[in-house]
Structure 1
């Protein structure tokens, strides 16, 4: 699964948007069961947290991927956070605050459906949104220059480095959707009554900015894909294959942590297991 990991500078136009894996749904069922068992071990081990970051254009399939990939997880060991427009309280803090307080505890998985990268993506496409953060040095859109974004990338890199050094394993997945496939999925939302609720006229406004978003994603990925927090560009036009690639990438990576094991029983308890069984059987 190393083909999708970003280890050097990329051009998004050169990364595939569609890969079809034979029997992807069946393969996903097998790998997510293994992931579910591994999650139990990580929970019992209690020394690592796992942060899964999902980014992508509208209709890229983030919601359904979460539903299908984490289906075999024990609910006590995984938390999903969907980050929308910042609240009044969140805007009174720095932009990373709401993400920091949502980080998974050791032993748990945390899934960010849209992430701290929105702060260098949607805000970069719409820099006027930054004014709502009330940053002391930003008085107008003219103050939001390249140096501003470079500083923000450095802050994000430092944030991820800090949490990684303290036991959080980070996965960052960009669901790489083609513009043609997005058109099909938006039309599906309009044509299927049960999908109408997902459609917003704002989706069409953002679609007109497709090229700008692609440039911002490419820049963000290139500036923040690090060994401790790598990006993976996942071909997203075929949903079953995208889900399988994400699940397999996580499983293969986590299996390399050979120190993740279920804790050993206390020697005194282990020695007396037969006695405890006898006590229960004699009730």
Structure 2
């Protein structure tokens, strides 16, 4: 399997989504890719254990993508071998009545990972500049001051919201959260194939909703919103990575490699050493236990 350079997927200058690949050839069989993922995840698990003991950094992993992009299965496969105590996954759905009584970032803020833990957001705070931008009528449900009609949801409104998101991410980054943002870039043809599989396989029928087809009709609008959001908010402290997602195994491997290769650069993440007194008396403690 050929090696990859994670910088190929990192957004550092403005991009056109239509020019970004939705597939990537690792020059390997699916079995080799799965074996490679398993190896990467074991190494990632060791880093996470050290982070848990170190207790000074948190990791926030944000995963965005259209319907059928593979978000759920990616989370399952990439994090299944990590210590369960160190990974917390949040799947954000339509805001609840309580959540709508707070600002739109509130439910994400209270779900942030504690230091020493990985937090995975399945859909993220970016829904507030994606779904709501395609469907601005949803904003009216937030009961915001000075937003009384769709006419109030203008360019100035979105500019303010992007600034708030950038400020939010900068704040948590400056306080010890390492941020990864992944856009699973799926082609329209592959989405069609996956929706058809949901209809063809009885055990997948429950995943299908007629609303999936209505949203698919808005494909171009969503792509434009993703492009704008990525270009406005990919920052050195909170970069976006666009992940070719037409092949699920490849997408999972690339995401895991981005996490591993980046976290390996944090040389200060290490398990704390025992204090001198405890270290000097290890043999005494061992003898005490053996003689019980």
TM-score range, shorter chain: over 0.9
Match of 2:132, SS?
helix
Does the residue aligned with 1:52 lie in a helix, a strand or coil? strand
- Corresponding residue of 1:5: 10
What SS class does the counterpart of residue 112 from structure 1 fall into? Answer: strand
Maintained 8 Å contact 1:20/1:238: no
Give the alignment's TM-score, normalised by structure 2.
Answer: 0.96
d(CA) in 1 for partners of 2:289 and 2:105?
Answer: 51
**Partner residue, 1:14:** 19
TM-score (norm 1): 0.99
SS, match of residue 175 in structure 1: strand
Q: What whole-Å deviation, never above 9, does each CA across 1:192-215 have from its counterpart, x for those lacking one?
A: 000001101110000000000000
Which of 83, 88, 107 in structure 2 is aligned with 1:98? 107
Matched-pair contact (CA < 8 Å) for 1:33–1:72: yes
Counterpart secondary structure, 2:212: helix
Secondary structure in 1 aligned to 2:121?
A: strand
- 1:193-243 residue CA offsets vs partner (Å, 9 max, x unmatched): 000011011100000000000000000000000000000000000100000
* Offset from partner CA, 1:163-217 (integer Å, 9 cap, x none): 0000000000000000000000000000000000110111000000000000000
Task: Check if 1:26 corresponds to 2:35.
Answer: yes
Structure 2 segments unaligned to the other structure (5+ residues)? 1-5
Per-residue Cα deviation, 1:112-162 (whole angstroms, up to 9, x for no partner): 000000000000000000000000110001100011001100000000000
Match of 1:264 among 270, 273, 283: 273
Looking at structure 1, the residues matched to 43 and 25 of structure 2 have their Cα atoms a distance apart, in angstroms, of: 22
Deviation at 1:20, TM superposition (A): 2.7
After superposition, residues 203-242 of structure 1 pair within 5 angstroms as 203-242=212-251
Residue number in structure 2 paired with 1:46: 55
8 Å CA contact 1:82, 1:112 repeated in 2: yes
Matched, 1:184 2:189: no
Q: Aligned partners of 1:197 and 1:266: how far apart in 2?
A: 55
Q: Distance in 2 between matches of 1:18 and 1:46?
A: 37
Q: Which moved more, 1:136-145 or 1:13-22?
A: 13-22
Q: Residues 85-234 of structure 1: matches in 2 within 5 Å? A: 85-234=94-243
Aligned position for 1:277: 286
Number of aligned residue pairs: give it. Answer: 283
Q: Does 1:37 align with 2:28?
A: no
1:37 Cα offset (Å) = 1.0
Shift of 1:24: 1.4
1:185, 1:100 → 2: CA distance?
33
C-alpha deviation, 1:65, in angstroms: 0.2
Q: Deviations over 1:91-124 (max 9, x none)?
A: 0000000000000000000000000000000000
Aligned-residue Cα RMSD (Å) equals: 0.5
